[in-house]
Amino acid sequence: MQRIVVKIGSSSLTSDHGGLNRDFIGFYVREMMSLIESGAQVVVVTSGAVAAGFTHIGYEQRPKLLHEKQAAAAVGQALLMRAYQEQFQQFNVPVAQILLTRTDFASRKRGQNAHMTIEELLRQGVVPIINENDTVSVEELKFGDNDSLSALVANLVHATRLVIITDTDGLYTADPRHDPNAKRFDRVEQITDEIYAYAGGSGSSVGTGGMRSKLDAARIAMRGGVPAFIGKVSETADLLAAVQGQGKGTYFDSHLHALPMKKQWLGFHSTPQGRVFVDDGAEQALTDKGSSLLPAGVHEVIGDFHPGDVIEVFGTNGRTIGRGIVNYGAAQLRIAAGWSSEEVLKRLEVPRIEVIHRDEWVTLK
């Protein structure tokens, strides 16, 4: 059975000046019903709470101050869920509201609880409708238009595809609204710096996400083994076409297998407590050979962490190569950095010789 995560942004649900457009919501619900009727399970990641609420609460334009955004989201979230509920009810399909923040993913237990809840809802034929908990979040309101959240959710539920709906039919070499010679990428197998260079800024006054944040989301999904689609769903059957590989947009293919829950938590949800820098040999061992990180490969330690914490590992070029659960405290590792395994065993008491064991490591390079 296919499991599709559909992300819908503020600009797709509201008017240019804010407030919900019920015709738009009705259209997207009908599109999602076409997937459900084809036998697929659908999880919705929706934006629009702030955009829906700020006119209702009395602001003339989208607020910029945090407390104003939170007030608008508190009002708008209720309006948003009522609109979805009314539209899905026409098809006798129940919906459920799930509000998440980054801290829900940072905690393995809370992430597992969210996963189990979503699994049960889908088993019961309920459509989960997920949004960020904007009324209590600080960082999340600057996060983008729920793009990365949709990718984290897609990985969490082991989706077969992530569909990110936008007002542009995919990624172009330039802005097609201004450059008639712009060419669209039909498929992308790897998101490189060159691909990122083509991403522009946000095109809407009511949303917060641009193409770059959508590329970030596609990259997260691909790392978790979930293929992604970024494009337009503006006519009947467009969403079904997008899922079937014939959509109006760009496909981001993943050749990776879905990561186990622990590796997903490590790579995408955990909060690193420190950083270590390793030499070329250690980087190659970690990323190409599937080996563990040994003290000999470490040449710099930053932060104050303890055994069992998650740390980030950087290569010689200063870029992140992955994350793992460390077996050393920071002070202990500063002493052992560069030592051979034999020397560490002679001079230090450590539970295991590996700084990070390969079973507790995920490559993010």
Largest CA distance in the chain: 72
Structure tokens at 1: 């059975």
pTM, full prediction: 0.81
Is pLDDT above 70 for 62?
Answer: yes
Tens of pLDDT, residues 135-151: 776 554 445 568 989 99
The pLDDT value recorded for residue 141 is 40
Q: How far apart are CA 161 and CA 222, in angstroms?
A: 10
Structure tokens at 25: 């919501």
Confidence of residue 16 (pLDDT cuts 50, 70, 90): confident
CATH classification for the domain delimited by 3-262, as one of 2.102.10.10, 3.40.1160.10, 3.20.20.70, 3.40.800.10: 3.40.1160.10
Confidence of residue 103 (pLDDT cuts 50, 70, 90): confident
Is pLDDT above 90 for 333?
Answer: yes
Three-state DSSP at 235 gives coil
Structure tokens at 199: 């991403």
C-alpha angle with apex 160: 82 to 41, nearest 5 degrees? 40
Q: How far apart are CA 166 and CA 203, in angstroms?
A: 10
User: In the chain, where are the structural domains located?
Assistant: 3-262, 272-363
Structure tokens at 89: 């009810």
Structure tokens at 337: 């950095």
DSSP state letter for 259: P
The sign of the CA dihedral 126, 118, 207, 217 is: negative
Q: How far apart are CA 359 and CA 357, in angstroms?
A: 5
Contact 205, 138 (CB under 8 A): no
What CATH number should be reported for the domain whose range is 272-363?
Answer: 2.30.130.10
Structure tokens at 339: 């030592």
Confidence of residue 204 (pLDDT cuts 50, 70, 90): very low
The two domains 3-262 and 272-363 share their CATH topology (first three levels equal): no
Is pLDDT above 60 for 208?
Answer: no
Is pLDDT above 50 for 209?
Answer: no
**Residue 113 CB partners (closer than 8 Å, separation 6+):** none
**Residue 246 CB partners (closer than 8 Å, separation 6+):** none
Rg (CA), the chain: 22
Mean pLDDT of 102-119: 87
Residue 162 neighbours by CB distance under 10 Å: 30
Confidence of residue 206 (pLDDT cuts 50, 70, 90): very low
Mean pLDDT of 68-90: 94
The pLDDT value recorded for residue 217 is 93
Q: How far apart are CA 40 and CA 33, in angstroms?
A: 9
Is pLDDT above 50 for 207?
Answer: no
Tens of pLDDT, residues 281-296: 999 999 999 999 999 9
Contact 356, 362 (CB under 8 A): no
The pLDDT value recorded for residue 144 is 55
The sign of the CA dihedral 231, 167, 1, 39 is: negative
Concatenate the DSSP letters of all residues of 1-58 into one string. --EEEEEE-HHHHB-TTSSB-HHHHHHHHHHHHHHHHTT-EEEEEE--HHHHHHHHHT
Confidence of residue 37 (pLDDT cuts 50, 70, 90): very high
